[in-house]
Amino acid sequence: MYIKFISDSSIPAKGFMGEIFATRGGCGGRNKAPTGFIYSPNYPEKYDHNDDCGWLIEVDSNHVVELQFLDFLVERHINCSYDHVAVSEFNQT
């Protein structure tokens, strides 16, 4: 799974917290632990303008990743074209 956070140059918000793997003090990273947390930059304070963070979550081939957002507040836009979190499958074959 690949998770990417992007913010634009307008309105910053509280951001998000999702349970995966602890990655404090940085913006993104590669995570192989079975559980933990990820955070947007500066969480629970406001994230910065133009942040661009990515997390690669890796699990054994006989496992799946379950992502649950526990807190989520980003800039509102009808098409989510400003600040957003994108989650996609990552196959390394």
Tens-place pLDDT, residues 56-73: 888 888 887 888 888 999
pLDDT category at 24 given cuts 50, 70, 90 is very low
> Rounded distance, CA 66 to CA 89, Å?
12
In a domain, 93, yes or no: no
Residue 23 confidence (pLDDT) = 41
Whether residue 56 is contained in a domain is answered as yes
Contact 38, 18 (CB under 8 A): yes
Higher local confidence (pLDDT), 37 or 25: 37
For 15, the token pair is 């951001």
- Regarding pTM above 0.75, the answer is no
* Token pair recorded at residue 70: 């526990």
Segments forming the whole domain that contains residue 57:
2-88
**pLDDT exceeds 60 at position 22:** no
Query: Does a structural domain hold residue 24?
Result: yes
Residue 36 covered by a domain: yes
Q: What is the pLDDT at residue 71?
A: 92
Q: How many domains does the chain have?
A: 1
Q: Is residue 77 part of a domain?
A: yes
